[in-house]
Amino acid sequence: MKIEEIKIFLDEKVVLYNQPEFIVNDPISIPHLFSNKQDIEIAGFLTATIAWGRRDSILKSARKLMELLEETPSDFILHASEDEWERFNDFYYRTFSSVDCLYFLMALKRIYMDHGGLEELFVEGYRRGGVKNALSHFRDVFLSFDAPQRSAKHVANINKGASAKRLNMFLRWMVRSDGRGVDFGIWDRILPEDLFLPLDVHSGNIARRLNLLKRKQNDFKAVEEITSVLRHFDPKDPVKYDFALFGLGVNEAF
């Protein structure tokens, strides 16, 4: 296909997959359980953190985590007693252990108490150097509360080439706002045009089959390469094509 035909093709797939009926079995369905802004942010961040592997397993563990947080993530994290934290000693998802879980919850508490919350932290980095700097700045602060060494691997380090798929996905959820009932658009100080594609195996494979991505590794250089192409398709909202690329890979085995 010619590049113009690829754009038309992907635009059609965005319309098809950017719909509420397609998120029932997607990790974004977890933050959709909430209406409070801080609950959405925290539920979204924790769900994105464990969003690798089978989607049914991700959803099962994310729902369990929300139950442990008593379906009020922000209130629990900010006000739970020391005894109540012990309930997370048995939580794990694949390599995300109870040690990691407890650190993540504690770090979130510090971020909301001392840094104004997740949005403020990402915006602080964004204002200094765009989304790329926001990802680096977030990692630096998030791991600054005496993090266990093992927990660092669960926060992508783009300075070492990580694609940061889960963090970029979380940012897509929080920043994009197109009125379709999928992404939340509750953060309005980061521009959608500056977001990066949440590149994974599925979207990477489809992008290569369409000759939109040349780089073989799914690293941050590949993220920058494919996002730059998608910005030519839609300069104001390039990551909307995440729906198309992921949907073609997962739903259609394109």
What pLDDT, in 10s, does the model give residues 188-243? 999 999 999 999 999 999 999 999 999 999 999 999 999 999 999 999 999 999 99
Say which amino acid occupies 245.
L
What pLDDT, in 10s, does the model give residues 74-110? 999 999 999 999 999 999 999 999 999 999 999 999 9
Q: Residue 254: is its pLDDT beyond 80? A: no
The pLDDT of residue 113 is 97
CA distance 124 to 235: 23
Which residues does 137 contact at the CB level (< 8 Å), separation at least 6?
Answer: 121, 122, 124, 125, 128
**Where do we find the tokens 């658009």?**
185
**Where do we find the tokens 């407890």?**
102
CA distance 222 to 165: 11
Domain ranges in the chain are 3-250
- Helix (H) or strand (E) segment spanning residue 243: helix 241-250
pTM, rounded to two decimals: 0.97
Q: How far apart are the first and last CA of the chain?
A: 14
CA distance 239 to 168: 10
Strand partners, 96: 93
CA distance 187 to 202: 27
